[in-house]
Amino acid sequence: MRGAWPLALSLVLGTALWTATAIAGGRAEPWDSALYWSASYPSALALAAAIGFLFPDRPWRWAVVLVFTQLPVMAVSAPGLGLLPLALVMLGLLSLPAILLAAVAARIRRALA
């Protein structure tokens, strides 16, 4: 049960972020929006670090969930998922910086304790 809060937080924040990005950018896929690289992805990285700091037990999980919530947003809004394998690879790559930042923030948290 100890992982329920960070999981829920990652799911809710990620879904909200990527849905807002898709809507504000007028795109079905968040990464097709002009806002993605300038605001949304950097925000996701900051959120991954914050969640990693708050919940330092295996923080990579929360970072992955946060980034991969783009997939259900795309599934709901995109007409087809013909490029699903490519999307999974892309999301995996996009998760790497989030995982690193979450891990660093968790290490800082443990050092301060």
Spell out the per-residue pLDDT of the chain, length 113, in tens: 577 999 999 999 999 999 999 999 988 888 888 899 999 999 999 999 999 999 999 999 999 999 999 999 888 877 777 788 998 999 999 999 999 999 999 999 999 98
Q: Among positive and negative, which fits the CA dihedral 11, 13, 14, 15?
A: positive
3-state secondary structure of 111: helix
Instruction: Check: CB of residue 29 under 8 Å from CB of residue 74.
Output: yes
Query: What pLDDT does 100 receive?
Result: 98
Q: What is the pLDDT of residue 1?
A: 53
pLDDT value at residue 84:
85
Give the C-alpha separation, 6 to 63, whole Å.
Answer: 10
Q: Nearest-5° angle of CA 40, CA 44, CA 47?
A: 135
Sign of dihedral through CA atoms 88, 30, 23, 13?
A: positive
On whether the pTM is more than 0.85, the answer is: yes
Query: What's at 55, amino acid-wise?
Result: F
